[in-house]
Amino acid sequence: MLSENTMTTCSSLDELLETFDLLDSWEERYQFLIDLGREVPPLPPEDITEENRVQGCQSNVWLTTHVTDSVPPIIELAAQSDAQVVKGLVAVLLLAYSGHTPEEILAFDIKDLFNKLGFTKHLSRSRSNGLFAMVQRVQNVAREAL
């Protein structure tokens, strides 16, 4: 169990996995996801559009992508949801993908990460479907950027 003084912010996937390993139960992990989601900066109101809404999510999720002009290009993501747990899933997705090249995004085994975090066992079917809809959207942007 984490102490009350432990910050929920994780700056890397390794930190996220280490933190999840410290938590004794799925309920604590669930609460940690909610806390992570609270730290995701909100999208500007002009980005909360139907065009940015992720189809396939039961909750509303808006995802914006920006591909830099650098060589290689970097994909920057921002996202928001109207559901607390989904905001936490968004935080994990941003940590996994934002700031990476298209090649890194497409090569990353996101299913392995979700298994290690326990999402495969503990998320409802509708949340899992929504999470993979977000993943698919990011991977499509990465493919287009190649």
Domains of the chain, each with CATH number or no CATH? 13-145 (3.90.1010.10)
pLDDT in tens, 107-137: 999 999 999 999 989 998 989 999 999 999 9
- Ranges under pLDDT 50 in the chain: 1-7
Q: How far is CA 9 from CA 71, 120, 136, in A?
A: 29, 23, 25
Q: Please check whether residue 110 is in contact with residue 57, taking contact to mean a CB–CB distance below 8 angstroms.
A: no
Is this structure's pTM higher than 0.85?
A: yes
Among residues 10, 54, 57, 145, which one is catalytic? 57
β-bridge pairing 61-67 and 75-81: antiparallel
Residue 10 annotated in active site: no
Among 75, 89, 81, 77, CA closest to 119:
89
Please report, rounded to a whole number, the percentage of residues in the chain having pLDDT higher than 70: 94
